[in-house]
A and B are shown apart, each in its own frame.
Chain A
Amino acid sequence: MPPDGSYGPTSTDPSVTRSSLPSARRRGSMRRLRAITRKEFIQLVRDRRTLALMIGMPLVLLLIFGYGVRLSVDNIGVELVGHDSPAVRAVLSEHQHFRVAPAVAPTLTAARRDLFNGSEAVAVVVDALGRPVRVLIDGSNAFVAQNSLEYLRTLMSSGTSAPVEILYNPTLRSADFMVPAEVGMIMLWVGTVATAIGVVREREQGTLEQLMMTPIGKLELMVGKILPYSVLTLLIAVMITVLGLVLFRVPMRGNPIELFLFAIPYLVAALSIGLLISTVAQNQRQAMQTATFILLPQVLLSGALFPLSAIPWGIRWVSQMLPLTYFTPISRGMFLKGLGFAQLWPEVSVLCAMALVFTVLAALLFKTRLD
């Protein structure tokens, strides 16, 4: 049983009376914001598995993109058809691109069979004089076929072509191309998923209903929830960047602090997408599915993996609505070319506008009632 008078007077807080002062309200607002942020941090740190996943997944992706994924293809299987030619052999073997089979296919039919069963990817028909007269390429892997075609063109026309100089990434290293894009992809992934899950989990546990019954405002709730995830996402982005520089020796020709600043509107846009997802998803499973549904096309259509110019005009407008489409040129431009705000202001402006629009949209759609 309670001691007498332990209950005390009821609701004397000035911020809750009808005639509350604006300054008192603002102080209360900061308190509430701090309370939510602190709670989110505790939860984030205590949920070891999710935290490990959020940090581990970007690391694995970095290693895959850095070591595993090669945009250039080497060791393509080639065979000569009809006649052997030391000269053609020499040209093909000049680089690592091709691995020339020691045996010569007797007929075109035999060569077609080799391409069909996949033992070789390219067949070069050589005439009696030892000149290449015809080339067959297995097109079932478009990536390999395109690379082969490109290599063959340069090799076969050697001596006649104009000298080519490749700027910014002279050796065309995949890591240089991929790591800057990965920074954007990871921020998008972590930011969107963490936010969506964070809000939906409250709904699932029933704590959102409880929060709606407290004086917490919509904006306080949203900002308070987003803040810890922003810090986490930015830390991961920094981690990826540093590892990219150290492990893969990706150059950083721009100002890293500028890149960090440009990443903020991008991050806010990504987090707001997460909030938008949380307004439609009823449980964590739905949130994950919706996030994947939104993130996968974003990665594919943004130009981070495939060039924007390869995306047909009919769906290019989708690309133009995705934050990653604007962050990728910023990131690549700063890592590889040393660009700055002078060149990148259009992309930065679009990201700022997107951050604003998505945040307002999320705030409008976020309900403070249950119905």
Chain B
Amino acid sequence: MTSGLSKSFAGRAAVSDVTFEVNDGEVYGLIGPNGAGKTTLIRLLCGLYRPSAGAGTVLGLDIERERSLIRARVGYMSQGNGLYGDLTVAENLRFYADVYGVREESRLREVMSWLDLGDVAHHVVVDLPTGLRQRAALAAALVHRPQMVVLDEPTSGVDPLARDTMWELVRSIAAQGVTALVTTHVMPEAQRCDRLALLAESRLIAAGTPEDLVETSGLTIARVDATPWAEAFARLRARWPDAALYGTRVHVPLPQGEAQEREVRGVLAGLEVYSLSWQPPGIEDAFIALVDRAASHGTA
């Protein structure tokens, strides 16, 4: 979908040399810390920025030359939500329906009942809680039956329950054959994507399914129960700064390898170790490891 796409502002790269591809009907996540270039990348894809270098297509349409066609087929939900705060939900949807040339009145009711917005249809948007506001913005992005939706941080500032609802909606959109490109910096959410691209400091550092990313991180997590736990944590942390405390149990992300168990036990010598077990890393551990690795490659 893109190859070597780059964008810089006043000489500072915001997106450098990003190449990735999204399949039809999949939920594709762009993840990475704030400032990694996620928003810039999707704005490039939507034709809101002119690329500094590289090229890309969205739904087979060129992002430079055919952006008016892209606009008509893509539903876009910007980070700023994109709804008019002083208008009601229904007024906002009507506005976007008119703008996109949607003629059937029934489509508005359809979208509203699908996203369960019937009760708040005549509420002014600023009065709604963030979760509902985001859901209304999603409705506005869907009103013209786009072939693809681009959602920039749809769950930012949303409570966990509403966040779950939002992801269920995204999955149900994809289930109907609509491609969804979603950005997020909340790592557990990344697991709900079919595939992911990891961005850090303007570069794409890894891409694949969540399992792939965990795999390529080459990490394993040691779970240590020892007493006194504070002493165990202090020692492990001194040796591996990424060690973290979960209750009284210490998690140590380590590169996969044979000698790890011996080394951990060595550090804990003299303490009473109840259990030492191994588990695969979470997406967040994998992400941190991949970003660190990319950073050290970058400086090497």
The chain A residues found within 8 Å of chain B, CB to CB, are 1-3, 6-13, 15-16, 18, 28, 31-32, 34-36, 38-39, 42-43, 46-47, 205-207, 209-216, 369-371
Is B83 located at the chain interface by the 8 A CB criterion? yes
Interface centre among B78, B173, B178 (most CB of A within 10 A): B78
Query: How many whole Å from A17's CB to the nearest CB in chain B?
Result: 8
Which 8 pairs between the two chains have the least Cβ-Cβ distance? A206-B80, A210-B82, A35-B98, A16-B72, A213-B76, A7-B176, A2-B114, A10-B147
Contact A32:B99 (CB < 8 A) given known A42-B87, A205-B85, A209-B80: yes
The chain B residues found within 8 Å of chain A, CB to CB, are 7, 9, 43, 46-50, 68-69, 71-74, 76, 78-87, 91, 94-96, 98-102, 107, 110, 114, 142, 144-147, 168, 172-173, 176-178
CA–CA, A371 to B107, complex, Å? 34
CA–CA, A13 to B87, complex, Å? 26
Complex contact A7–B86 (CB within 8 A)? no
Query: How many whole Å from A216's CB to the nearest CB in chain B?
Result: 6
Complex contact B178–A10 (CB within 8 A)? yes
Q: A15-B72, A207-B80 are in contact. List 18 more A-B contacts (CB 8 A).
A: A1-B172, A6-B114, A7-B178, A8-B145, A10-B177, A13-B102, A16-B72, A16-B73, A31-B98, A207-B83, A209-B80, A213-B71, A214-B71, A214-B99, A215-B68, A215-B99, A371-B9, A371-B50
Q: Inside 8 A of B43's CB, which chain A residues have their CB?
A: 370
User: What are 27 of the A-B contact pairs (CB < 8 Å)?
Assistant: A3-B114, A6-B110, A7-B142, A7-B173, A7-B176, A7-B177, A8-B145, A10-B73, A11-B146, A13-B72, A16-B69, A31-B101, A32-B99, A39-B87, A39-B95, A42-B91, A43-B86, A210-B80, A212-B48, A213-B48, A213-B71, A213-B74, A213-B76, A214-B71, A215-B68, A369-B48, A370-B43
Nearest A residue to B9 via CB reads A371
Query: How many whole Å from B13's CB to the nearest CB in chain A?
Result: 14
Nearest A residue to B145 via CB reads A10
Q: Inside 8 A of A216's CB, which chain B residues have their CB?
A: 99
Q: Inside 8 A of A31's CB, which chain B residues have their CB?
A: 98-99, 101
Q: Inside 8 A of B71's CB, which chain A residues have their CB?
A: 213-215
Nearest A residue to B85 via CB reads A205
Partner of B82, one of A35, A39, A206, A369: A206
Q: Inside 8 A of B50's CB, which chain A residues have their CB?
A: 369, 371
CA–CA, A212 to B48, complex, Å? 7
Nearest A residue to B150 via CB reads A213
Complex contact B100–A43 (CB within 8 A)? no
Query: How many whole Å from B109's CB to the nearest CB in chain A?
Result: 11
Q: Inside 8 A of A36's CB, which chain B residues have their CB?
A: 99
Q: Inside 8 A of A35's CB, which chain B residues have their CB?
A: 94-95, 98-99
Q: Inside 8 A of B172's CB, which chain A residues have their CB?
A: 1-2
Q: Inside 8 A of A213's CB, which chain B residues have their CB?
A: 46, 48, 71, 74, 76, 78
Contact A214:B96 (CB < 8 A) given known A13-B102, A18-B69: yes
